[in-house]
């Protein structure tokens, strides 16, 4: 029991420590590919500390909702990320690691962040909130369809069960899984405001989505929101690793050594994903904001098509 609790706490701590490192790897990769020296890998940690030391300036028209939203967004994102079996299945709280619960936690964070963008009454905040709501209205159904397809294949929405099934020999080669992976990557790019949906490194007024909602935040409030955004990126990377690339993770009731090795493998996978994301963002341009609904809608269509193919294949058996 004590060992299980220790590894559960290790997972909760690991995800919050590796999230800024993942962002640093993405930035460093993009800088190297564009022949720039770029910031060090630990720069996101320094930025968070610098923001946390500054005073938070709050507008006179802001309500209590504006002040508590950063902590609600951070808490919901951290809990959702900590539920994912990153390096080992069957941990102490693995029973609560349900895909639908994770989607609900992310939806709650988006809801409060959109309200905070509207709370101050600025034009940019309202613009960002409306765009975030539009993209979320397309991304969340796509996530539900992807979860539905995975549940039909693995027989459960519980992440430990899904990961165990993916590592077994019963999974085989399935077109539905390939479509679900592509759809999930599209949703991940949209939900995290990454290129080609949004560019987190710019503050161009006409194209801002996520950045527009947090323009009024500063100091420790901005530090908490930035850390929540880093955690959200780590969450989607961890979900892809857990569901589609679970090899190397320790199984339930594994030894301490196997779980330590699993943690090392997980860190290596996250860093590799950061390099891959940096290469992808460097090789593609940002699309116009009016084309983003079509891009996110493609994930929904891929999810529906994958589920339909799964039903047809089972009917013909």
- 219-272, pLDDT tens digit by residue? 999 999 999 999 999 999 999 999 998 888 877 777 788 888 989 999 999 999
How many domains is the chain partitioned into structurally?
A: 1
The whole-angstrom separation of Cα 8 and Cα 110 is: 26
**Three-state secondary structure call for residue 88:** strand
Cα–Cα distance between 189 and 58 in angstroms, integer?
Answer: 30
Asked if the model's pLDDT at residue 92 lies above 80, the reply is: no
Residues 6+ apart with CB under 8 A from 317: none
Separation of alpha carbons 14 and 17, rounded Å: 5
Q: Give the per-residue pLDDT at 258.
A: 87
Angle between the 292-316 and 123-154 helix axes, to the nearest 10 degrees? 10
Residue 212 has pLDDT above 80, yes or no: no
Q: Do 22 and 34 touch, CB atoms closer than 8 A?
A: no
Binning pLDDT at 50, 70 and 90, where does residue 204 land?
Answer: low
With beta carbons less than 8 A apart as the criterion, state whether 292 and 172 touch.
no
Tokens standing for 216?
């009024």
Within 10 angstroms of residue 5's Cβ, the number of other Cβ atoms is 12
**Is the pLDDT score of 172 beyond 80?**
no
Q: In terms of DSSP H, where are the helices of the chain?
A: 2-33, 43-53, 64-83, 99-119, 123-154, 159-167, 175-191, 210-213, 219-244, 256-283, 292-316
Owning domain of residue 89 = 2-316
The per-residue pLDDT for 207 is: 64
The answer to whether residues 72 and 112 touch, using CB atoms and an 8 Å cutoff, is yes
Angstrom distance (rounded) from CA 45 to CA 88: 26
Question: Mean pLDDT, to the nearest integer, of 43-49?
Answer: 96
Return d(Cα 235, Cα 63) in angstroms, integer. 30
Q: Of residues 57 and 205, which shows the higher confidence score?
A: 57
Name residue 88's beta-bridge partners. 250
CA dist 184 and 37 (Å) reads: 32
Q: Residue 4 pLDDT > 80, yes or no?
A: no
Say how far apart CA 165 and CA 87 lie, in whole Å: 16
* Angle, alpha carbons 126-130-136 (nearest 5°): 140
* Local structure of 121: helix, strand or coil: coil
Looking at residue 271, its pLDDT comes to 96
What pLDDT does residue 8 have?
83
pLDDT at 20 over 90: yes
């Amino acid at each position: 029991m004590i060992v299980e609790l220790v590894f559960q706490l290790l997972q909760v701590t690991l995800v919050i420590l590796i999230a800024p490192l993942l962002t640093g790897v993405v930035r460093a990769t993009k800088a190297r590919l564009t022949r720039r020296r770029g910031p060090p890998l630990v720069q996101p940690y320094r930025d968070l500390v610098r923001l946390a030391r500054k005073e938070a300036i709050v507008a006179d028209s802001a309500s209590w909702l504006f002040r508590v939203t950063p902590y609600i967004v951070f808490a919901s994102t951290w809990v959702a990320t900590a539920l994912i079996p990153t390096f080992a299945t069957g941990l102490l709280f693995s029973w609560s690691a349900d895909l639908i619960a994770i989607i609900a936690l992310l939806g709650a964070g988006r809801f409060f962040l959109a309200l905070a963008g509207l709370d101050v009454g600025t034009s940019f905040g309202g613009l960002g909130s409306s765009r975030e709501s539009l993209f979320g209205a397309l991304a969340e159904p796509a996530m539900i369809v992807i979860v539905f397809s995975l549940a039909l294949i693995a027989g459960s929405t519980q992440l430990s069960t899904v990961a165990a099934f993916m590592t077994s020999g019963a999974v085989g080669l399935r077109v539905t899984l390939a479509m679900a992976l592509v759809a999930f990557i599209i949703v991940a790019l949209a939900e995290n405001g990454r290129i080609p949906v949004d560019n987190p490194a710019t503050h161009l007024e006409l194209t801002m989505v996520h950045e527009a909602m947090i323009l009024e935040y500063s100091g420790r409030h901005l530090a908490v929101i930035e850390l929540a955004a880093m955690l959200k990126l780590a969450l989607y990377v961890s979900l892809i690793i857990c569901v589609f690339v679970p090899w190397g993770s320790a199984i339930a009731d594994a030894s301490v050594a196997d779980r330590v090795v699993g943690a090392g493998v997980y860190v290596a996978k996250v860093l590799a994903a950061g390099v891959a994301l940096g290469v992808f963002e460097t090789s593609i341009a940002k699309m116009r904001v009016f084309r983003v609904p079509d891009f996110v809608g493609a994930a929904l269509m891929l999810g529906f098509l994958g589920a339909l193919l799964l039903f047809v294949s089972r009917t013909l058996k």
